[in-house]
Structure 1
């Protein structure tokens, strides 16, 4: 199966072989592929090569990976959730509008000194005090995304003492601080999760994430929030609105 004299990298040969087996019906949509250990034995390659091949096939949409369950041929994978990003996106309202059940849990909250990147996005001096609030968001009780939020500490006094009141973040900000964030920009990037994000989102480290980095301003133009959200690539489809 692997031609060591072909000049083609082993992982690409693996990808092509598995792709051909799917095309020929050897593996059908929803079928579980052999485990990483089994693939090492079948192709006589190491784990790194197998992981490269699986990452490539997942990136092409041919397979998907479920943490703790295995790797499956695409076709019967979970339906993608169309998440709309606009100037006034609100997670809770966004999800309820499509008939799903939103949820959230605060993972951590602390006041820290802003590093250069965070300070620049909030238009603060490096080292200025900011509130870091990291939240795990759910859809129908399934982990969907992790958001790391940063707020200027002087605009959100006492926020950390009120963490238990947060269900809808923007409703909370409006109620306690009169802040109504409006998105000014977002950037999008695909990446793979680190061990902590993978464990929290209950996915494999081979499962891609979509990272959305955003800044929000208040009604007077002051930057009041900078956030980095990591969406599960196997569950999300991002639509951008221009309202």
Structure 2
């Protein structure tokens, strides 16, 4: 009898050892969480501007200290956030166009130190934004708002687009898409000196002064780098 009980116990033990263990289903949410963590971040669009890049282009944008118009100044961190948003809004994707717009805004606003026309003193009322645009308010704020502001004076009209960084920095991208010809834009995309000068003379309506070339050259080098 003892021998039979021993055999039975051994048989039960072998069955227990050989029986397959139940599979444990891992929660699906855990697997998805790991996959999401391993997923590579989406790279920024080509030519995305960063504060570091803007400071490389124009070192004066690193800080607003020492400026004559402190309330109007935007440093590199503040400026790049608004510029990239404006590029997205107006679908500016070409590096050559981005470089030209950054260079133009830097020159017109004294490296983003002001956003109203101050020169020659006392400046031209109603002219401003980061590219010193005059015809931008209606496109952004609407004719009704502009009409009401006009009764208070040109500076009130400018305030419609100048008290918000996205709108103030959006003036140049808007201007490019709304007023410049396909030929002018193609010249900016090609990044040639002729294309840059044609943008200034044919679209903006200003002179291709030599001092305007330096920020454009710097912007091209950094944005393409």
TM-score bin, normalised by smaller chain: under 0.3
| Higher relative helix content | 2
Q: TM-score scaled to structure 1, two decimals?
A: 0.22
Larger radius of gyration: 2
